[in-house]
C-alpha cells in the first residue's frame, strides 16, 4: 500500500533525515587509506545513536552492520569488516536512521585518497543522474519519469544502470511501496501525489548492468568486476515539486538541491579517459530488458 504522509509525519521524517545526513557528512571526513570498513561502521553507529536514533539497517533481515560499506565493484549491501581501504578505492556508504519510528535512507560514493579520472567521471555521472531523478519528482508525474530521467542520462554517457536493484517508498518501514526503478518508459505506472516519500538511488556501472551476489548472501557486485557508484536521497513529493529530506538543517528547503551535489555533477571530469575505457566494451549495458526479479535496497 502506498501512503501519503501528513505535515506532522513529514516533520518527523525530516528529523530522521537530518540525523542521517549529519552522520554521513561526518563519515565522509573519516574516509581515508588505512581505515577499515568496520571502523566506518562503528563510527556511523555512534553518530546515529548519539542523536537518539537507531541505525536502520542493523539486524534488518539479519544484516550484520549499521551501514553498508561496498568497495569498488561491490554495488550495495557490503558487510563492514576488517577490509582496509586503499588509495584509489571507491567506498559506497549506504546509511539509514530510524528516529521515533520514522526512517530515512541515504547513500554516497566516496573517493579514498586520489582516484583515477575514469572513476571520478563515474562518480560525477551518477550524482548528475540523482539530480535529474530528483528533479523529475512533482505532483501528477509518474514514478517511471524518475527512472527515465536517470536511465537516459546515464546511457547517454556510456554507462550502465543496474536493473536488479531499485529504490523504494519509505516511512514507518524502511522499504514501502512503490518500487522506484532507475530505468523505464516515461509516463507509466504509479502517479506521484503530495505526501508520498521515495528513496531515489541510482546505481551505475562502468561495464555491464548485470550483477551477482557473493557467498555471504548480501554483497551485490558487478558481474564483470567493473567499478560501480551509488548515490541516494530520501525525497518527499510536495504540492509544487519536491523536498529532499536527507539534508542537514542548514540546507533543507523545498525544491532545493545542494550546490555541492549539483555543481559536482554538472560537468563530469576525465571524459577522455572514460571514453577510451568504453571503446572495448560489447555494449550489453544499453540493453533495456527488465529482469524478472527486482530487489529494493537500503
User: How do the pLDDT tens digits run along the chain, 298 residues long?
Assistant: 999 999 999 999 999 999 999 999 999 999 999 999 999 999 999 999 999 999 999 999 999 999 999 999 999 999 999 999 999 999 999 999 999 999 999 999 999 999 999 999 999 999 999 999 999 999 999 999 999 999 999 999 999 999 999 999 999 999 999 999 999 999 998 999 999 999 999 999 999 999 999 999 999 999 999 999 999 999 999 999 999 999 998 777 889 998 878 765 554 433 433 333 333 222 232 222 333 333 554 5
Locus of grid cell 570498513: 37
Per-residue confidence (pLDDT) for residue 290, from 0 to 100: 32
Does CATH place domain 7-296 in 3.90.230.10?
yes
Other beta carbons within 10 Å of 266: 11
Strand segments, DSSP code E, in the chain are: 54-55, 68-71, 74-76, 90-99, 102-111, 160-161, 165-169, 176-180, 197-200, 203-205, 211-213, 220-222, 228-230, 233-238, 241-244, 295-296
Q: What is the predicted pLDDT for the residue at 287?
A: 29
Length of the chain counted residue by residue: 298
What gap in Å lies between CA 270 and CA 119, rounded to an integer?
Answer: 8
Helix H or strand E encompassing 237: strand 233-238
Q: What is the structure's pLDDT at 285?
A: 28
Instruction: Give the model's pLDDT for residue 280.
Output: 26
C-alpha span between 235 and 196 (Å, rounded): 9
Task: Provide the pLDDT for residue 264.
Answer: 56
The domain segmentation of the chain, as residue ranges, is 7-296
| CA distance linking residue 127 with residue 293, whole number of Å | 26
Amino acid at each position: 500500500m502506498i501512503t501519503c504522509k501528513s505535515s506532522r509525519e513529514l516533520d518527523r521524517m525530516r528529523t530522521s533525515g537530518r540525523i542521517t545526513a549529519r552522520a554521513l557528512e561526518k563519515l565522509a571526513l573519516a574516509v581515508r587509506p588505512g581505515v577499515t570498513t568496520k571502523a566506518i561502521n562503528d563510527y556511523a553507529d555512534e553518530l546515529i545513536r548519539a542523536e537518539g536514533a537507531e541505525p536502520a539497517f542493523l539486524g534488518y533481515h539479519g544484516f550484520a552492520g549499521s551501514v553498508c560499506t561496498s568497495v569498488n565493484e561491490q554495488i550495495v549491501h557490503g558487510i563492514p569488516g576488517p577490509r582496509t581501504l586503499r588509495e584509489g578505492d571507491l567506498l559506497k556508504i549506504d546509511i539509514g536512521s530510524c528516529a521515533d519510528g520514522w526512517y530515512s535512507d541515504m547513500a554516497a560514493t566516496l573517493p579514498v585518497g586520489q582516484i583515477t579520472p575514469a572513476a571520478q567521471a563515474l562518480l560525477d555521472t551518477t550524482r548528475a543522474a540523482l539530480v535529474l531523478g530528483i528533479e523529475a519528482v512533482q505532483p501528477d508525474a509518474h514514478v517511471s519519469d524518475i527512472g527515465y530521467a536517470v536511465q537516459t542520462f546515464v546511457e547517454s554517457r556510456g554507462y550502465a544502470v543496474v536493473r536488479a536493484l531499485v529504490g523504494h517508498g519509505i516511512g514507518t518501514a524502511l522499504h514501502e511501496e512503490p518500487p522506484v526503478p532507475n530505468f523505464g518508459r516515461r509516463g507509466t505506472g504509479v502517479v506521484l501525489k503530495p505526501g508520498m516519500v521515495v528513496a531515489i538511488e541510482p546505481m551505475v556501472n562502468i561495464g555491464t548492468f548485470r550483477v551477482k551476489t557473493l557467498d555471504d548472501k548480501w554483497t551485490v557486485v558487478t558481474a564483470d568486476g567493473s567499478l560501480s557508484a551509488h548515490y541516494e536521497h530520501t525525497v518527499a513529493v510536495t504540492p509544487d515539486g519536491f523536498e529532499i529530506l536527507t539534508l542537514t538543517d542548514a540546507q533543507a528547503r523545498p525544491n532545493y538541491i545542494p550546490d555541492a551535489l549539483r555543481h559536482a555533477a554538472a560537468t563530469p571530469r576525465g571524459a577522455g579517459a572514460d571514453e577510451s575505457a568504453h571503446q572495448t566494451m560489447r555494449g550489453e549495458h544499453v540493453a533495456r530488458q527488465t529482469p524478472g526479479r527486482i530487489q529494493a535496497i537500503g
